[in-house]
Amino acid sequence: MRIASDIVRFCAIVIGLGLIFAWLGVYNTGRLPFYQSFVFWTSTMAVGAGTSVLVSPFVWGPRFEDVPAIFKIGIAAAIISVPVTLTLMLFFSIDPWSLSTYVMQYAYVLVISLIVTTGAYVRDAMINKSEAPESGETPVTTFLDRLPVKFRTAELHAISSEDHYLRVHTSLGEELILMRLADAVRELSGADGLQVHRSWWVAKSGVTEEKRVDGRSLLVLPSGTEVPVSRSYRNKAKDAGLIR
Confidence class for position 139, pLDDT limits 50, 70, 90: confident
Residue 226 has pLDDT above 90, yes or no: yes
Residue 77 has pLDDT above 60, yes or no: yes
Mean pLDDT for all residues in the chain: 83
pLDDT computed for residue 170 by the predictor: 94
| Class level of CATH domain 139-239 | mainly beta
Looking at per-residue pLDDT, the higher value among 211 and 29 belongs to: 211
**pLDDT, mean of residues 210-231:** 90
DSSP state of 89: H
Of 109, 63, 64, nearest to 89 by C-alpha is 109
Residue 204 has pLDDT above 90, yes or no: yes
Per mean pLDDT, which range of 23-37, 68-82, 173-187 is the poorest?
23-37
In DSSP terms, 217 is beta-bridged to: 212
**Predicted TM-score of the model (pTM):** 0.52
Rank 87-91, 131-135, 178-182 by mean pLDDT and report only the highest: 178-182
Residue 134 has pLDDT above 60, yes or no: no
d(CA 218, CA 235): 14
Confidence class for position 12, pLDDT limits 50, 70, 90: confident
Looking at per-residue pLDDT, the higher value among 39 and 126 belongs to: 39
**pLDDT, mean of residues 40-55:** 83
pLDDT digits (tens, 9 = 90+) for 142-175: 889 888 888 888 999 999 998 778 999 999 999 9
pLDDT digits (tens, 9 = 90+) for 89-118: 777 665 666 778 788 888 888 988 888 888
pLDDT computed for residue 3 by the predictor: 55
**pLDDT, mean of residues 164-188:** 90
Of 48, 36, 32, nearest to 82 by C-alpha is 48
Torsion angles phi and psi, residue 203, rounded to 5: -85, 140
Residue pair 232/62 in contact (Cβ under 8 Å)? The answer is yes
Percent of the chain residues past pLDDT 70, beyond the cut: 89
pLDDT computed for residue 133 by the predictor: 52
> Would you list the domain boundaries of the chain?
2-130, 139-239
